[in-house]
């Protein structure tokens, strides 16, 4: 039977983080609106006679993204009207960009599995978000607070051939947007939405077969599930000898399947034409250069730097740079700590991230600063506490936000590495267990571990294992001689 | 400026096309109306074929009338309008929301 | 003295010398409207109370002699496509019959700041689509010179009102002759401004790239006074021009001697009514007497102005009118609607008249995939040629003169059966709008007892020159002072 490989392109809609909306002065912070229809004006509710004026900050953010994605910034931009009727679209057209978008012809490096791959970015253009609809049994309610919030649509070429590649591309785009500070990446709030174009073709061929478009993918999970489902559906269709129909699909999260949206199909003649209410937008080189100078270090560059600077593995570096806040936290901790970088990396990629993920924490609002994490790692390095205790302390830090020193003191968790104190403990172990001492001295080496266990028991785990080991060996040698 | 040259095949926009464009602009029309519009549209559009006389090979399209460029506003929040000012014109409302009949094609 | 017959200039003199108050003037105008408008039907809404309230405020300003402009205390009305806060704004359409805007158009704010007194809203062809005012969803407006005839369109209510002394001036809106054509039919002086000279914010758009608001008044002088108050960049309209505003009134008295006046030969073709042509020729004679240099010029793409104009109009209007969907304002026919599409179909079917329906359907047609290049794009390319025609002509002259219409006002009902014939009546006025240039309509005689208008066309932002020429002509003639019997 013929095998098929997928061909996937992604459209990513990202809300830009401006203060005001794309074409009017209403606040764009719709998720913090006091009530429905409070962040509105004649422009964003399309009252007769109202006119749009472009938000300069939105253009700058779009240019920033374009540069980060290695795009050409088009010196002449034009807005266009995309005409269709839908109750979330007050004007009956969306102001978007058509043949002259802000940015085009860029690329982004990803990992398809373990193989590096360059995905081409076709274009990035500005448009406006729609109103929010609330569907009820017998009618629909409209809230215009979100209408007119700036959106950047980033369109890839159909260059991805696995679900993993698509996921990696989407993940990296999200990271870049967060690095640039133009999008919070908060998927639950809907600030980032995906549409996937999916087709399949016989493995090894280079033809492009009929594609379908899956809309409304509002999480990475939905993106991976929907594309995987669609790939399988199309493959089965071809294998059964039938043909795939070009159509728009919706993803149903509950039923875990794509569903045809025929009602939207007929209206696909968008009748684009240049927006006459907005003069063309010139983006001159000086402006682009100025924005370029504000471009921060991006994930890919940072990944390379961390590998070079700290000797991290590729996987560690990728994980640590996947989020700007995490990478910032990591680098800050490294700069504050006296411990080896390797130890710090292990702590952050291990226990630390496990808590962050388990507790669903926002990396930008952690309960404690990097200073505290640096202290914790330094306590371990200085053998003031052992690994197990450190894990307990870290749990306490996540729970209470207190500094590790405070927690250690309050709970008397400090590691015992004091020679005199441990000598007493070792002496007691030898005193209490003459039989075991005898069998060790008779050559039964395994008893040593048991005796170490006794030291740990008596110190409730706080004994510095290396010091304890040394003292125990010395005491047993003494016993051998005195015997 | 006579409507059409005699040797040109008669141009026509049929009633189905009229119904198609009527639906694109969400205009309810009936069959008889579509028929009447079809005749008018054919005459009007046929007259506009006059433009085919003009050689526009290298001519760029005009896209704007004023010669302004790059007009933008700073990203500053202006007070929104009082909600009641907006809602008092709304034909069907429910509380603070605007109400419309069912929307199909959504999840 | 009959206050309602005063010009702005005369009224200003009387107001500032305290010989009349704004309340007296406004009351006289309102009384005259209530007496006369039942014959004319120029007004959709008459705002007596609001008017008197503003008149009292104007009188305060006048009493304190503070902050007085040439328009302080002057009663005026506007075409009903200009948004007025708290005052119904209908575009003479059923779909907006009960719409009360929550905000003012920028021009209304500016006139209010100047102290002018808004007295009402004037009838028009629905959404500006028409050349006779017969496409109003409410009623026909009659030409004050002959009640059997149309006032022209689409600013027909405004032209008829100014001609019949119902308001000292009006704001009209010109998409493709909508100020000049009715001004010519009614013996009114009307100025289509340069695209972008006057803010469109709050003007209910017909064709966003053509629409221009401008004054309609008794004289070029009065038009200059109004333009002074409304011109200038508006940050709410990205297409408004930042260029400085000349002192239009001061420029009026500059001599016209030596100015070059072009006669575009394409505007003087067969089909023009004899009385119209002779009036225009006499006016040209007068310009020559005033010392202007007359020369023939060519605007070779004139014939294509009409298709360019209508194709762009259809396209833009079809999008501009999409927001009238029965959801947020205006008429909503939701009874029996199973879904929102039904509501759209029903509302727009009931709410729009036949001409509006025709044009928005044709707009969808010319923008459709597969037709875009042949119609919309082609029109935009020829539009470039039209602009170049004007640019070339203005290398050789300072202004052009041409008739506003091949005929005088036609009879009500005469052209309503055939949309294409109606479109052809705009033939002389449409080309200026795709080019964005200004044009002043000046009354220049009568043909079969109906007024004849000529238009002076200038290059971008040359309103001052047009007004200067118009004023010189009106200082030497008195056609613009003639008033119909009903205006008394
Ligand atoms: Zn707004």
Q: Where a domain ends, among A410, A439, A472? A: A410
Query: Do A378 and A334 reside in the same domain of the chain?
Result: yes
Question: Are A49 and C204 spatial neighbours (Cβ–Cβ below 8 Å)?
Answer: yes
Provide the CATH number for the domain around residue A462.
1.10.10.410
Mean pLDDT of chain C: 96
DSSP-derived 3-state class of residue C377: helix
CB proximity list for C65: less than 8 A, separation 6 or greater: C16
Question: Are C239 and C263 spatial neighbours (Cβ–Cβ below 8 Å)?
Answer: no
Query: Do A285 and A320 reside in the same domain of the chain?
Result: no
Q: What is the pLDDT of residues C194-219, one digit of tens each?
A: 999 999 999 999 999 999 999 999 99
CB proximity list for C200: less than 8 A, separation 6 or greater: A49, A51, C208, C211, C212, C213, C237, C239, C240
User: For chains A and C, what is the number of CB pairs under 8 angstroms?
Assistant: 102
CA of residue A43 to ligand 1 center, whole Å? 5
Chains in contact with A, counting 3 or more C-beta pairs less than 8 Å apart as contact: B, C
**Residue B5 — pLDDT band, cuts 50, 70, 90?**
very low
DSSP-derived 3-state class of residue A104: strand
Tokens 């860029």, residue located: A106
* For residue A209, pLDDT beyond 70: yes
Q: Which of C210, C361, C390 to mutate to test the interface with B (most CBs of B within 10 A)?
A: C361
The Cα of B39 is separated from the nearest Cα of chain C by a number of Å equal to 11
Percent of chain A residues past pLDDT 90, beyond the cut: 70
Query: Do A129 and A19 reside in the same domain of the chain?
Result: yes
- Higher-pLDDT residue of C369, C129: C129
Say how many domains are in chain C.
Answer: 1
Domain segments of chain B as ranges? 8-52
How many other C-beta atoms can be found within 10 angstroms of the C-beta atom of residue C253? 11
Provide the CATH number for the domain around residue C36.
3.90.1300.10
Position C33 in a domain: yes
How many other C-beta atoms can be found within 10 angstroms of the C-beta atom of residue C213? 28
| Range scoring the smallest mean pLDDT among A22-31, A376-385, C400-409 | A376-385
Question: Are A278 and A54 spatial neighbours (Cβ–Cβ below 8 Å)?
Answer: yes
Say how many domains are in chain A.
Answer: 3
Query: Do A321 and A237 reside in the same domain of the chain?
Result: no
**Residue A198 — pLDDT band, cuts 50, 70, 90?**
very high
Catalytic residue among C7, C21, C22, C79: C79
For chain B, first and last CA: distance in Å?
54
Q: Which of C99, C106, C312, C367 to mutate to test the interface with A (most CBs of A within 10 A)?
A: C367
**DSSP-based helix, strand, coil % in chain C, nearest 5:** 45, 15, 40
Closest by CA to A351, choosing from A380, A324, A313, A314, is: A380
Give the mean model confidence (pLDDT) for residues A97-106: 96
Position C187 in a domain: yes
Pairing between β-strand A103-112 and β-strand A93-97 as defined by DSSP bridges:
unpaired
* For residue C163, pLDDT beyond 80: yes
Position C426 in a domain: yes
The Cα of A372 is separated from the nearest Cα of chain C by a number of Å equal to 51
Contact C327 A87 (CB under 8 A): yes
Instruction: Name the residue of chain C whose CA is nearest to A143's CA.
Output: C328
CA of residue A42 to ligand 1 center, whole Å? 6
Instruction: Report ipTM for this prediction.
Output: 0.97
Query: Do A264 and A319 reside in the same domain of the chain?
Result: no
Contact B13 C365 (CB under 8 A): yes
A136, two tokens:
């009820």
Tokens 């727009």, residue located: C348
CA A208 to chain centre: 31
Task: Give, as residue ranges, everything with CB less than 5 Å from ion ligand 1.
Answer: A 24, 26, 41, 43-44
Percent of chain B residues past pLDDT 70, beyond the cut: 84
Is-catalytic flag, C136? no
The residues facing A77 across adjacent strands are: A281
Query: Do A280 and A380 reside in the same domain of the chain?
Result: no
Chains in contact with C, counting 3 or more C-beta pairs less than 8 Å apart as contact: A, B
Contacts of A59 in chain B (CB under 8 A): 72
Contacts of C315 in chain A (CB under 8 A): 273
Query: Do A367 and A454 reside in the same domain of the chain?
Result: no
Residue C321 per-residue DSSP state: G
Q: What is the pLDDT of residues B33-67, one digit of tens each?
A: 999 999 999 999 999 999 999 999 999 998 766 67
Instruction: Name the residue of chain B whose CA is nearest to A283's CA.
Output: B70
Closest by CA to C438, choosing from C453, C454, C460, C470, is: C460
Is residue A34 packed enough to be buried (19+ CB in 10 Å), middle (13-18) or exposed (0-12)?
exposed
Give the mean model confidence (pLDDT) for residues C344-350: 98
CA of residue A52 to ligand 1 center, whole Å? 9
- Residue B51 CA neighbour count, 13 Å, CB half: 29
Contact C384 B59 (CB under 8 A): yes
Q: Where a domain ends, among A291, A326, A341? A: A291
Residue span of the structural domain in which C122 resides? 3-259+397-487
- Higher-pLDDT residue of A212, C418: A212
C425, two tokens:
């009546």
Q: DSSP readout, C250-277?
A: HHTTS--TT-EEEEEGGGS-TT--HHHH
Of A56, A141, A266, the CB nearest to B75: A56
Is-catalytic flag, C378? no
The pLDDT, as a whole number, for residue B10 is 64
CA C88 to chain centre: 20
Question: Are C263 and C297 spatial neighbours (Cβ–Cβ below 8 Å)?
Answer: yes
Tokens 């000349």, residue located: C246
Of C340, C344, C387, the CB nearest to B62: C387
Give the mean model confidence (pLDDT) for residues C155-163: 98
Query: Do A274 and A330 reside in the same domain of the chain?
Result: no
Phi, psi of A119 (to 5 degrees): -100, 130
* For residue A264, pLDDT beyond 60: no
Residue span of the structural domain in which A437 resides? 419-482
Give the pTM: 0.90
Contact A47 C319 (CB under 8 A): no
A96, two tokens:
């978007």
The pLDDT, as a whole number, for residue B6 is 43
The Cα of B54 is separated from the nearest Cα of chain A by a number of Å equal to 22
**Residue B8 — pLDDT band, cuts 50, 70, 90?**
very low
Q: What is the pLDDT of residues C254-276, one digit of tens each?
A: 999 999 999 999 998 878 899 99
Query: Do A125 and A233 reside in the same domain of the chain?
Result: yes
Question: Are A108 and A119 spatial neighbours (Cβ–Cβ below 8 Å)?
Answer: yes
Residues C418 and C427: their CA atoms lie apart, in Å, by 16
Torsion over CA: C236, C241, C243, C247 (sign): negative
Q: What is the pLDDT of residues A125-134, one digit of tens each?
A: 999 999 999 9
Residues C401 and C286: their CA atoms lie apart, in Å, by 12
Closest by CA to A71, choosing from A10, A127, A11, A122, is: A122
Query: Do A144 and A287 reside in the same domain of the chain?
Result: yes
Give the mean model confidence (pLDDT) for residues A245-253: 89
* For residue B105, pLDDT beyond 80: no
Of A25, A142, A281, the CB nearest to B78: A25
- Residue C187 CA neighbour count, 13 Å, CB half: 23
Phi, psi of C52 (to 5 degrees): -65, -35
């Amino acid at each position: 039977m013929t095998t098929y490989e997928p061909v996937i392109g992604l459209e990513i809609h990202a809300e830009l983080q401006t203060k005001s909306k794309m074409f009017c002065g209403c606040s764009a912070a719709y998720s913090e609106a006091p009530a429905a229809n409070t962040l509105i004006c004649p422009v964003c509710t399309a009252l007769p006679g109202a006119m749009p004026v472009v938000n300069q900050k939105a253009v700058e953010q779009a240019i920033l993204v374009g540069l980060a994605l290695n795009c050409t910034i088009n010196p002449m931009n034009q807005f266009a009207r995309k005409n269709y009727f839908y109750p979330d679209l007050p004007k009956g057209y969306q102001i978007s960009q058509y043949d002259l978008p802000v940015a085009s012809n860029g690329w982004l490096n990803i990992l398809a599995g373990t193989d590096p791959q360059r995905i081409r970015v076709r274009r990035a253009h500005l448009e406006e978000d729609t109103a929010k609809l609330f569907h009820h049994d017998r009618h629909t309610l409209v809230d215009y607070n979100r209408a007119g919030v700036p959106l950047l649509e980033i369109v890839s070429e159909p260059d991805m051939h696995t679900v993993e590649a698509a996921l990696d591309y989407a993940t990296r785009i999200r990271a870049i947007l967060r690095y640039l500070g133009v999008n919070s990446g908060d998927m639950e709030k809907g600030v980032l939405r995906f549409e996937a174009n999916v087709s399949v073709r016989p493995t090894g061929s280079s033809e492009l077969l009929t594609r379908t478009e899956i809309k409304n993918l509002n999480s990475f999970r939905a993106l991976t599930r929907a594309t995987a489902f669609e790939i399988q559906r199309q493959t089965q269709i071809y294998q059964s000898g039938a043909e795939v129909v070009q159509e728009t699909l919706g993803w149903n999260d509950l039923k875990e399947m794509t569903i045809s949206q025929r009602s939207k199909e007929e209206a696909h003649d968008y009748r684009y034409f240049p927006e006459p209410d907005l003069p063309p937008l010139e983006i001159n080189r000086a402006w682009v250069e100025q924005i370029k100078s504000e471009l921060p270090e991006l994930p890919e560059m940072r990944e390379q730097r961390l590998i070079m600077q700290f000797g991290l593995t590729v996987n560690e570096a990728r994980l640590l740079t996947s989020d700007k806040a995490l990478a910032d936290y990591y680098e800050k901790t490294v700069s504050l700590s006296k411990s080896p970088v390797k130890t710090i990396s292990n702590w952050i990629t291990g226990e630390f991230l496990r808590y962050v993920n388990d507790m669903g924490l926002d990396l930008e609002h952690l309960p404690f600063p990097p200073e505290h994490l640096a202290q914790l790692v330094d306590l371990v390095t200085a053998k003031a506490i052992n690994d197990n205790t450190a894990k307990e302390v870290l749990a306490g830090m996540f729970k209470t936000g207190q500094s590790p020193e405070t927690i250690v003191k309050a709970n008397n968790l400090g590691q015992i590495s004091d020679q005199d104190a441990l000598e007493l403990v070792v002496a007691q172990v030898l005193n209490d267990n003459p039989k075991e001492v005898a069998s060790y001295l008779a050559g039964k080496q395994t008893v040593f571990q048991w005796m170490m266990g006794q030291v740990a028991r008596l110190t409730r785990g706080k004994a510095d294992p290396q010091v304890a080991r040394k003292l125990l060996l010395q005491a047993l040698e003494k016993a051998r001689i005195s015997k | 400026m006579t409507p059409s040259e005699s040797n040109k095949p008669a141009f026509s926009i049929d009633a189905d096309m009229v119904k198609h464009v009527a639906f694109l602009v969400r205009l309810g029309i009936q069959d008889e109306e579509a028929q009447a519009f079809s005749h008018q549209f054919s005459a009007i559009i046929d007259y506009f074929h006059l433009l085919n006389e003009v050689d526009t090979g290298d001519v760029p399209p005009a896209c704007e009338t004023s010669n302004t460029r790059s007009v933008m506003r700073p990203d500053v929040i202006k007070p929104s309008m009082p909600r009641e000012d907006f809602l008092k014109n709304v034909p069907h409302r429910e509380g603070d929301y605007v109400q419309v009949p069912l929307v199909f094609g959504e999840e | 003295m009959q206050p309602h017959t005063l010009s702005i200039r005369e009224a200003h003199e009387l107001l500032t010398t305290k010989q009349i108050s704004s309340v007296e003037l406004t009351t006289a105008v309102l009384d005259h409207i209530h007496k006369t408008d039942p014959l004319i039907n120029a007004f959709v809404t008459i705002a007596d109370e609001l008017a008197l309230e503003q008149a009292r405020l104007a009188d305060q300003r006048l009493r304190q002699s503070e902050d007085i402009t040439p328009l302080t205390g002057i009663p005026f009305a506007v075409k009903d496509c200009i948004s007025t806060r708290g005052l119904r704004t209908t575009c003479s359409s059923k779909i907006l019959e009960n719409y009360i805007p929550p905000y003012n158009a920028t021009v209304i704010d500016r006139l209010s700041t100047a102290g002018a007194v808004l007295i009402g809203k004037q009838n028009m062809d629905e959404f500006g689509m028409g050349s006779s005012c017969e496409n109003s969803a409410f009623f026909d407006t009659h030409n004050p010179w002959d009640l059997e005839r149309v006032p022209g369109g689409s600013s027909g209510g405004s032209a008829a009102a100014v001609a019949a002394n119902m308001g000292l001036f009006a704001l009209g809106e010109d998409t493709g002759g909508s100020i000049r054509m009715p001004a010519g039919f009614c013996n009114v002086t009307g100025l289509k401004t340069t695209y972008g000279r006057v803010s469109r914010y709050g003007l209910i758009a017909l064709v966003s790239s053509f629409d221009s608001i401008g004054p309609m008044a008794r004289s070029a002088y009065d038009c200059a006074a109004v333009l002074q108050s409304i011109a200038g960049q508006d940050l709410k309209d990205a297409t408004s021009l930042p260029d400085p505003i000349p002192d239009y009134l001061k420029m009026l008295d500059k001599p016209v001697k030596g100015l070059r006046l072009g006669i575009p030969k394409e505007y003087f073709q067969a089909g023009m009514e004899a009385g119209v042509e002779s009036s225009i020729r006499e006016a040209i004679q007068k310009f020559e007497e005033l010392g202007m240099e007359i020369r023939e010029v060519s605007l070779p793409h004139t014939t294509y102005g009409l298709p360019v104009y209508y194709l762009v109009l259809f396209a833009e209007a079809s999008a501009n009118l999409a927001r009238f969907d029965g959801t947020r304002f205006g008429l909503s026919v939701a009874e029996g609607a199973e879904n929102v599409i039904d509501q759209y179909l029903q509302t727009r079917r009931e709410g729009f008249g036949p001409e509006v329906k025709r044009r928005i359907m044709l707009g969808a047609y010319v923008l459709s995939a597969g037709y875009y290049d042949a119609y919309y794009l082609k029109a935009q390319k020829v539009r470039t040629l039209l602009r170049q025609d004007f640019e070339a002509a203005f290398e050789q002259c300072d202004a052009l003169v041409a008739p506003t219409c091949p005929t005088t006002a036609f009879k009500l009902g005469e052209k309503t059966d055939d949309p294409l014939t109606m479109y052809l009546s705009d033939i002389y006025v449409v080309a200026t709008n795709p080019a964005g240039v200004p044009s002043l309509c000046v009354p220049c005689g009568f043909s079969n007892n109906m007024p004849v208008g000529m238009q002076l066309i200038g290059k971008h932002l040359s309103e001052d020159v047009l007004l200067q020429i118009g004023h010189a002509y009106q200082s030497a003639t008195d056609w613009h002072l003639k008033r119909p019997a009903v205006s008394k």
